[in-house]
Amino acid sequence: MLCDRCGENEASVHLTRIINGQKEEIHLCEECARRSSKLNAEDNNLSFQSLLSGILNHNFSNQESSYFTNKNSKELKCPNCGLSYQKFTQGGLFGCQKCFEVFEPKLDELFKRIHGNSRHKGKYPLSFKQLIEVESEINKLKKEMQIAVEKEDFEKAAEIRDKIHAVKDDMEEDKNEK
């Protein structure tokens, strides 16, 4: 596959970006990748920091503004250690504990773009999964009950309240059985 930029060399860097379900791919040769995203590819060995920097700052176009950072975030600086947000995006490492607090507003956005979500959804025990599902069902029923009350449909609200109590009772019975 040829490089999407120069169309001459073999593409060796393949980047994929998915935003709102839209998948965009770009295939670059090593030279174009170095020029466009400023990745440090010495001896064909990319460090984690340079790769992260390229991901954070790559914008799939020739615009000067960065996709992941803007003027305000580049000026953001940790008062404790002096690390700027721009330096963090280049190195991928915090300078101190305070950096996380200072950069927190930008990190949510960053994690959503990199991972698709700002909240970790890893594995957990089956019993815990069932508990979360029950709590989710209860929250859903509470919202339905609130809507029924707002519509002054008190009979439906009472039915939903009874369902909530039944779900809670079932959950307590399951706990006592174990």
Degrees to nearest 5, angle at CA 68 with 8 and 81: 125
Residue 123: both structure tokens together: 């594995």
Q: Quick one: pLDDT at residue 54?
A: 59
Q: Quick one: pLDDT at residue 148?
A: 94
Query: Cα separations (Å) of 14 from 57, 139, 156?
Result: 15, 43, 55
Three-class secondary structure of residue 14 per DSSP: strand
Report the chain's C-alpha Rg in angstroms: 25
Series of mean pLDDT values for 10-residue runs along the chain (178 residues): 88 80 83 66 49 52 38 70 85 85 82 69 67 88 95 94 90 71
Q: Quick one: pLDDT at residue 63?
A: 36
The helix/strand count (H/E) of the chain reads as 7, 2
Q: Quick one: pLDDT at residue 123?
A: 64
The whole model's pTM is what? 0.33
Q: Quick one: pLDDT at residue 40?
A: 41
